[in-house]
Chains A and B, each alone.
Chain A
Amino acid sequence: MGQYIADGIILGATLSLGAIGLTLTFKILRFANFAHGELLTFGAYFALTLSTVLAVGAPLGTLSFGWGFILVILLAAVLTAVLAIVVDWLVYRILRRSDIVATIVIASFGASLMLRNIVVFIWGPQPEYYFHSIAIAKQILPGVRVTADEIFVVVLAAVLMVALHLFLTRTRAGKAMRAVSDNALLAQVTGINVQNIIRLMWVVGGTLAAIGGVFYGITVQVGPNMGFNLILPMFAAAILGGIGSVYGAVLGGMVIGLAESVSVFWIDPAYKPAVAFLLMFVMLLVYPGGLLGERA
C-alpha cells in the first residue's frame, strides 16, 4: 500500500503541474485547452534533444543525471513557453473574436492532433528514455522503495508550487494575473494590459507543463502520446480541485495521482484511467464547484 501511495504522489506531481496551466487557460481565456497535453509532450522532447546536445555532466550521487540536466529542464521550459505563445498567436488569438465558445475548444483539438504529429515527424513514434542506466530504488520507509530521481521529481514539483504561490501573491505581475482571471473587464479599465497577461499566462502554463512532461519522462518514459494520455486525468484533476483554482489544480492532481495508483490495490491496472473519470464524474454530480472552487 505504501508503495502505491508513493507512486501516486510521483504521478500526482506531473498531473498537478499540467493541471495548473489547464485551469489558468480555462479561467483567463475561458476555454478547455485540449492541446495542453502536447505542451507536456513537447517539453519532454525538447529536454530529450537538449540532453543529447548539451553536456549534462556526471551523475550526482544516486541520481541518473548531473547538474547539466537542470539547465536542460529550464531550456526545455523556455522553448515550450515560446511554443505556447506561438500556438496562441496562430490559432486561439484569431478565434477569440468569435462568439461561438465551441470554436476554440474544437480548434484546440485540431492543434493537439497537429502538434502530436509534428512530434512523430521530428522524433519518431518510438518511446524514448532520458537515461539508460538503471536507477536503483532505495527503501525510505518500510515497504516503500523509491529512486533518487523520483525524490528529485517530487521535491522540484513542491519547490515549483511554492514559487508559483509566491509569484501569484507577492509580485505585481502575479497579482495582475489573478486580477485578470477574476474580472478581465475591470482589469482592463484599471490599466492592466490584458494581452500581456495572456502571454504571461502561457509562459507560466507552458513552463509548468514542460517540467511536468520532463518529470513524466524521468519517471515513466517519453513518447508522442504521453500528453494525450495525460490530458484527461489532468482535466479530471482541474475539475476535481475546482476549475479556475490554481491550488485546486495542485490538490486535484495529487488526488487523481493517488487514486489511480492506489486503485491498483483492488482492481486491474488496466482500469486505472477509469478511476480518474469516476472521481471527476462523482465530483461533478455531487459538488460541481470542486474541492477548492468558487462557492455559488
Chain B
Amino acid sequence: MSADGKVALTVDQVVAGYVPGVDILRGIDLQVAPREIVTVLGPNGAGKSTLIKVIAGLLRVRSGGVRLFGEDISHLPAHRMMARGVGYVPQTQNVFPKLTVEENLEMGAYVRRSELRKGLHQAYELFPDLARMRRQAAGRLSGGQRQMVAIARALMLQPRLMLLDEPSAGLSPLLVNHVFDKVREVRDIGVTILIVEQNAKAALAISDRGYVLSEGQDRISGPAQELLENPEVGELYLGARKGLA
C-alpha cells in the first residue's frame, strides 16, 4: 500500500489468539502516524495486551498484517524487532532485576553495540535520576524508577516505534503523571508511541489520538480530547467506574 508511506504503524484486519480456535483479536484496524502518541483503551479482556504482543512479535498473526513504515513485520520473531526499530516495554517484569541499571540499558543496545555510548548518553540525559543509580541492581528500585529503566532500555537503539503496555500499572497518581511526562519527552525526540492503557484519563491527556477496543475489535477512534468527552467511551470503558469518576 502506497498510503503506508506516511504511516508509522499499520495494523490491518489482524486476527490473533493464544488457544487454537479462540480468537482474542477479531479483525483490528489501527494506524499511527509518525511522531504521534496513540493510546489504545479498553476494559480487561478486550485484547489490549494481545494487540501489543502481536505488534512486538511475541504472538503470531492468524490473518491480517502489521506494517512498520510500510514494511511487513507480521511474521518477524520478537528478538528481531529491536533491530528493526521497535522498542517494547512490557507491563510487568520489564527490567532485569539482578542486573544493574546500566547493565539493563546495555542489554537494550545488545544487538548493536556501536550505539551503546550514544544510547547511554541519551538515556541519562532524558532520565537524570538513572545516572545516579547506574550501579544499583534494578530489582531494588521503586516501581516508578523501574518503569524509567524499562523505557530507557527500550530507547537504547533509537527506535522508530515504542510500544508501552500499561505504563501506569501499579504506580501512584503522582508517578503516573511523571511517567507520562517522560513518554511525551520520548515522543519529542522523534519516537512514535503506541500505549495500551486502563488509565484512560492520564494516557489520553498526553495522546494525540485514541482507540477503544471491545471484544477484540476497534470500536471507537478519534482525537484524544474527543474520546475523553465521548459519553459512549464512558459507557464502554469507564462504565464500571461511573461511581468513582
Q: What is the interface of chain A, defined by CB distance below 8 A to chain B?
A: 172, 175-176, 178-179, 181-183, 185-194
User: Chain A residues with Cβ under 8 A from B117's Cβ?
Assistant: none
Closest to A180 in B: B96
Q: A192 touching B81 by the CB < 8 A rule? A: no
Closest to A196 in B: B79
Report Cα–Cα, A169/B133, bound state, in Å. 17
Contact A182–B78 (Cβ < 8 Å): no
| 24 A-B residue pairings within 8 Å (CB atoms) | A172-B110, A175-B107, A179-B96, A179-B99, A179-B103, A181-B98, A182-B97, A182-B98, A182-B99, A183-B95, A185-B58, A187-B96, A187-B107, A188-B58, A188-B78, A189-B56, A189-B78, A189-B82, A189-B90, A190-B79, A190-B108, A191-B110, A192-B79, A192-B110
* Interface size bracket, B side: 20 to 34
**Which residues of chain A have C-beta atoms less than 8 A from B78's C-beta?**
188-189
**Chain B 13-44 residues near chain A, CB threshold 8 A:** none
B205 adjacent to chain A (CB < 8 Å): no
How far, in whole Å, are A213 and B90 apart by their CA atoms in the complex? 42
CB <8 Å contact, B88 and A189: yes
B63 at the interface (CB under 8 A from A): no
B121, CB-defined interface residue at 8 Å:
no
B82 lies within 8 A of A186 (CB): no
List the 6 shortest-distance A-B pairs measured between CB atoms, nearest first: A191-B82, A191-B111, A182-B96, A179-B96, A189-B88, A189-B78
A183 interface neighbour in B79, B81, B83, B93, Cβ under 8 Å: B93
Contact B96 A183 (CB under 8 A): yes
A191 touches B83 (CB 8 A): yes
Contact of B79 among A172, A175, A179, A194 (CB under 8 A): A194
Asked if B153 and A190 sit within 8 Å, CB to CB, the answer is yes
State A145–B92 Cα separation when bound (angstroms). 55
Is B6 interfacial (CB-CB < 8 Å)?
A: no
A187 to B83, CA, bound (A): 14
Would you call B81 and A191 a contact (CB within 8 A)?
Answer: yes
Contact B94 A191 (CB under 8 A): no
CB neighbours of B80 from chain A (8 A)? 191
Distance in Å: Cβ of A6 to nearest Cβ of chain B = 34
Known: A175-B99, A178-B96. A185 touches B79 (CB 8 A): no
Choice from B58, B88, B107 contacting A176 with Cβ under 8 Å: B107
Inter-chain contacts of B113 with A (CB < 8 A):
172
Pick the contact of B93 from A175, A186, A188, A190 — CB < 8 Å?
A186
* Known pairs A187-B96, A191-B79 / 16 extra A-B pairs, C-beta < 8 Å: A175-B106, A178-B99, A179-B107, A181-B98, A182-B98, A183-B93, A185-B93, A188-B58, A189-B57, A189-B81, A190-B79, A190-B82, A190-B153, A191-B110, A191-B111, A194-B79
Most B CB atoms within 10 A — which of A178, A183, A190, A191?
A190
B109 to nearest A CB, angstroms?
A: 9
A191 to chain B, nearest CB (A): 4
Query: Which residues of chain B have C-beta atoms less than 8 A from A194's C-beta?
Result: 79
Query: Which residues from B are CB-within-8-Å of A182?
Result: 96-99
A53–B40 Cα distance when bound, in Å, is 68
Contact of A175 among B90, B95, B97, B103 (CB under 8 A): B103
A187 to B108, CA, bound (A): 9
Could you tell me the distance in whole angstroms from the C-beta of A235 to the nearest C-beta in chain B? 22
Interface residues of B in 61-87 (CB under 8 A from A): 78-83
Q: How far is the CA of A222 from the CA of B108 in the complex (A)?
A: 46
Residue of A nearest to B104 (CB): A179
How far is A188 from B110 in the complex, measured between Cα atoms in Å?
A: 11
Shortest Cβ gap from A136 to chain B (Å):
45
